[in-house]
Amino acid sequence: RALIAVDTAAQTGEEIYYYQDGEDEEHLERLQIIDELKQALVADDGQLFMTYQPKLNLINQQIDKVESLIRWKRTNGDWVSPELFIDLAEQSGLIVELTQWVVATVVKQVSNWLSEGLTMKAAINVSAQDIADDGFLPHLKQVLLDNNVPAQLITVELTERDMIENEAKGIAVLKALKALGVMISLDDYGVGQTSLGRLKMLPIDELKLDKVFILKLDESHQDQCIVHSTITLGHQLGFCVVAEGVENQPSLTLLQDMQCDYAQGYHLSRPLTATDFSDWLGRYHEVG
Ligand code: C2E
Ligand code: MG
Ligand code: MG
Ligand code: MG
């Protein structure tokens, strides 16, 4: 059964709790999802788990980074898409707790990889509220310390919208993250509101071109122009440029020709559990 779409624009974080029982089935379902999400976080019983999608280094053809992406399979067997439950978690404030769980889980995984002799950078998606939360940085620091993971192996991915919310504080936190050694990545670049002037101000290391420009890159002259000029701009500003949503070989070849630094997408691999990722990586190395 497909879950109902969420109308984010009409919602604020507080409002969601005001709906009365029976008033509106959709809102009830949202309340129920938030409640179940809260329980799933506390239980940590495998309903929530992380997947990892490789980012291919186009300069040396190595896999040295992954993006972590959360998955949720409810106890009733339904899959809930992250687009939907991350949105609900943001509206209800649960995102802070959820991100703490993600940070702990991913850092532990990076530490496990290190103990297997594998140095793998991992990106974590965070929201504006995480950056605004005073506990975020100390928690991350502590988790890195507890797991003996160098901050250099962690990247934080934020969208333009997340960066613009509460900009002054956001930039200060991002600078503190960078000072720690964490890399900052601007996610979904090109579909938000970042002016070129603001791009210059943001303390970022990586630019991730939104997949809308990449999915049909091989077929669209316009996308090719946009992508090529953004890669050039990104490089001139000193950023690493990543393309997400690479679904076919012609697009990958184009990105390579355009000197894009990293490619990520179904053509390479879907997001995988840690176990499946290890197997995939083994096969990738065998094929060479
Ligand atoms: P995102 O961070 O921009 O992640 C990229 C999305 O594109 C992921 O969707 C990924 O599975 C999908 N994708 C990757 N390659 C391809 C491709 O070749 N073609 C297509 N069509 N899609 C591709 P996913 O996993 O459903 O996540 C959606 C969004 O949910 C993410 O967008 C991110 O904003 C959010 N999200 C996911 N996991 C987390 C998390 O742990 N924490 C937070 N705060 N947000 C998360
Ligand atoms: Mg991302
Ligand atoms: Mg993205
Ligand atoms: Mg996104």
26-35, 171-180, 253-262: least confidently modelled range: 26-35
Q: Does the beta carbon of 69 sit less than 6 angstroms from any atom of ligand 1?
A: yes
Are 277 and 52 within 8 A, CB to CB?
yes
| pLDDT of amino acid 23 | 58
Across residues 184-206, what is the average pLDDT?
A: 88
Confidence of residue 17 (pLDDT cuts 50, 70, 90): very low
| pLDDT of amino acid 196 | 78
Q: Does the beta carbon of 105 sit less than 6 angstroms from any atom of ligand 1?
A: no
The phi, psi pair for 107, rounded to 5°, reads -65, -40
DSSP 8-state assignment for residue 266? T
Q: Does the beta carbon of 245 sit less than 6 angstroms from any atom of ligand 1?
A: yes
Output the residue whose Cα is nearest ligand 1's atom 4. 69
Ranked by mean pLDDT, which of 1-5, 157-161, 196-200 comes out on top?
A: 157-161
| pLDDT of amino acid 22 | 52
Report the Cα 108 to chain-centroid distance in Å: 17
Q: Separation of 174 CA from ligand 2 center, angstroms?
A: 16
Tens-digit pLDDT profile for residues 121-138: 999 999 999 999 999 999
**Higher pLDDT residue, 117 or 21?**
117
Confidence of residue 20 (pLDDT cuts 50, 70, 90): very low
Instruction: Indicate if the pLDDT at residue 181 is higher than 90.
Output: yes
| pLDDT of amino acid 169 | 87
Q: Beta-carbon neighbour count of residue 214 at 10 Å?
A: 28
Instruction: Indicate if the pLDDT at residue 1 is higher than 70.
Output: no
Q: Does the beta carbon of 127 sit less than 6 angstroms from any atom of ligand 1?
A: yes
CA distances from 156 to 54, 97, 127, 128 (A): 15, 16, 10, 12
- Ligand located closest to 49 CA: 1
42-56, 110-124, 146-160, 192-206: least confidently modelled range: 192-206
Return the ∠ at Cα 213 (arms to 207 and 216), rounded to 5°: 140
Across residues 160-181, what is the average pLDDT?
A: 89
Identify residue 2 by its one-letter amino acid code.
A
User: With pLDDT > 90 as the criterion, what percentage of the chain qualifies?
Assistant: 80
Are 65 and 123 within 8 A, CB to CB?
yes
Prediction ipTM score: 0.98
159-168, 184-193, 264-273: least confidently modelled range: 159-168
| pLDDT of amino acid 2 | 36
Return the ∠ at Cα 27 (arms to 22 and 31), rounded to 5°: 100
Instruction: Write out the residues surrounding ion ligand 2, Cβ under 5 A.
Output: 125, 157, 187
Identify residue 129 by its one-letter amino acid code.
Q
Across residues 109-121, what is the average pLDDT?
A: 98
Could you tell me which of 44, 88, 48, 84 has the C-alpha nearest to residue 68?
48
Mean pLDDT of the chain: 91
| pLDDT of amino acid 13 | 41
